[in-house]
């Protein structure tokens, strides 16, 4: 049985140093290149990944499933509702049992504490497929996408406009570890909570809170937004009303650097947080970003299973 220290969980970007993140990103790029050349290195032959979804997903579910198959492994798709988790079996006991059957677990669960409890009791790697707190796999794909189009993230000025949410937090972690500058503009009602503020403080000046969204975007190399209503949010009408000035439209994009990219983790709500002319416009890389979920997560999977280079 692996010791707790040696288990390679991927729970948050901030848990890793830049060297490890760079190893993962390098493997992601290499695996992408090999795939385009028609090669499928069987790094995870006969390994089984259990994917537990307590909430909806299109990209995370399909990209992990396809990624495991391309690497020679298999997946089991589970939902919390059909497991004994829904009948009060504890997360920790679930982790102990699953560790006897499968080789790794990827989980989407709103409670970050539950994710940590699962990882704490598991004797196999656990991957965060999104919690209310963070979405690290998404941001690895975002960084891969930015660097493919524009070069190193540590030279970049990034602007986050809209709701202060899980995706934003993983961006805070990314600039903290990898460098770059992140401006955040969110209304006070939906701005950073205490946990987010302490992560922002830990970024040591790389993250700045700016009230005016246009000022936050000024000169940015990358503009990012996300849904105004994340999974688990209920105040839909209030959010749509208060977040309206943060919509990324052409006028907002024109405040950024003329070569700025636009990203959104998707699913997007066209006409709310982003207009269709931006989503479908020349600066948008949202579908490259979605594609890179596959490649970035293959890098994460390879790393979790002990690979450092390919």
Of residues 28, 128, 134, 138, which one binds ligand CP by CB under 6 A? 138
Task: For residue 75, state whether it binds ligand CP (rule: CB under 6 A).
Answer: no
Contacting range for ligand CP; rule: CB under 6 A; set: 76-84, 152-160, 262-270, 299-307: 262-270
Interface with ligand CP in residues 46-65 (CB under 6 A):
57-60
Nearest approach in angstroms of CB 267 to ligand NVA is 7
Q: Considering beta carbons, is residue 43 or 265 the nearer one to ligand CP? A: 265
Q: Considering beta carbons, is residue 132 or 206 the nearer one to ligand CP? A: 132
Which of ligand NVA, ligand CP, none sits in contact with 227, Cβ below 5 to 8 A by type? ligand NVA
Question: Exposed/middle/buried for 110, CB within 10 Å: 0-12, 13-18, 19+?
Answer: middle
Nearest approach in angstroms of CB 138 to ligand CP is 5
- 248 DSSP β-pair partners: 274
Q: Considering beta carbons, is residue 253 or 294 the nearer one to ligand CP? A: 294
Residues marked as catalytic: 108, 135, 138, 226, 265, 293
Cα(125)–Cα(113) distance, integer angstroms: 17
SS3 track for the chain: CCCHHHCCCECCHHHCCHHHHHHHHHHHHHHHHHHHCCCCCCCCCCCEEEEEECCCCCHHHHHHHHHHHHCCCEEEEEEHHHCHHHHCCCHHHHHHHHCCCCCEEEEECCCHHHHHHHHHHCCCCEEECCCCCCCHHHHHHHHHHHHHHHCCHHHCEEEEECCCCHHHHHHHHHHHHHCCEEEEECCHHHCCCHHHHHHHHHCCCCEEECCCHHHHHCCCCEEEECCCCCCCCCCHHHHHHHHHHHCECHHHHHCCCCCCEEEECCCCCECCCECHHHHCCCCECHHHHHHHHHHHHHHHHHHHCCCCCC
Which of ligand NVA, ligand CP, none sits in contact with 166, Cβ below 5 to 8 A by type? ligand NVA
Nearest approach in angstroms of CB 46 to ligand NVA is 31
- 225 DSSP β-pair partners: 264
Which of ligand NVA, ligand CP, none sits in contact with 58, Cβ below 5 to 8 A by type? ligand CP
Task: For residue 297, state whether it binds ligand CP (rule: CB under 6 A).
Answer: no
Nearest approach in angstroms of CB 301 to ligand CP is 16
Q: Considering beta carbons, is residue 55 or 150 the nearer one to ligand NVA? A: 55
Q: Considering beta carbons, is residue 56 or 93 the nearer one to ligand CP? A: 56
Cα(215)–Cα(60) distance, integer angstroms: 33
Q: Tell me the site size for ligand CP, rule CB under 6 A.
A: 9
Nearest approach in angstroms of CB 55 to ligand CP is 8
Task: For residue 265, state whether it binds ligand CP (rule: CB under 6 A).
Answer: yes
- Contacts with ligand NVA, residue ranges (CB under 6 A): 130, 165-167, 226-227, 230-231, 265
Which of ligand NVA, ligand CP, none sits in contact with 283, Cβ below 5 to 8 A by type? none
Interface contacts to ligand CP, rule CB under 6 A: 57-60, 130, 138, 265-267
């Amino acid at each position: 049985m692996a010791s707790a220290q040696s288990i390679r969980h991927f729970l948050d970007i901030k848990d890793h140093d830049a060297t490890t993140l760079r190893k993962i990103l390098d493997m992601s790029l290499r695996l992408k290149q090999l795939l385009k050349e028609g090669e499928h290195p069987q790094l995870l032959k006969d390994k089984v990944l259990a994917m537990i979804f307590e909430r909806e997903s299109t990209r995370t579910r399909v990209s992990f499933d396809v990624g495991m198959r391309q690497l020679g492994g298999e997946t089991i798709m589970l939902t919390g509702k059909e497991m004994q988790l829904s009948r009060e079996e504890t997360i920790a006991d679930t982790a102990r049992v699953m560790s006897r059957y499968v080789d790794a677990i990827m989980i989407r669960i709103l409670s970050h504490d539950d994710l940590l409890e699962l990882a704490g009791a598991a004797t196999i790697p656990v991957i965060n497929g999104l919690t209310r707190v963070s979405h690290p796999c998404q941001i690895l794909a975002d960084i891969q996408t930015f660097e493919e189009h524009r070069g190193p993230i540590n030279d970049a000025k990034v602007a986050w406009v809209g709701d202060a949410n899980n995706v934003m937090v993983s961006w805070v972690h990314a600039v903290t570890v990898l460098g770059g500058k992140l401006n955040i503009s969110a209304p006070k009602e939906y701005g950073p909570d205490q946990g987010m503020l302490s992560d922002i403080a830990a970024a040591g000046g790389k993250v700045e809170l700016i009230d005016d969204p246009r000022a936050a975007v000024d000169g940015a190399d990358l503009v990012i937004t996300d849904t105004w209503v994340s999974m688990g949010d209920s105040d839909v009408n209030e959010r749509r009303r208060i977040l309206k000035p943060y919509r990324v439209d052409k006028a907002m994009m024109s405040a950024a650097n003329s070569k700025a990219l636009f990203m959104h983790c998707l699913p997007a709500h066209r006409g709310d947080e982003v207009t269709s002319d931006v989503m479908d416009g020349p600066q948008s890389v949202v579908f490259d970003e979605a594609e890179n979920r596959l490649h970035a997560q293959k890098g994460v999977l390879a790393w979790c299973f002990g690979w450092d280079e390919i």
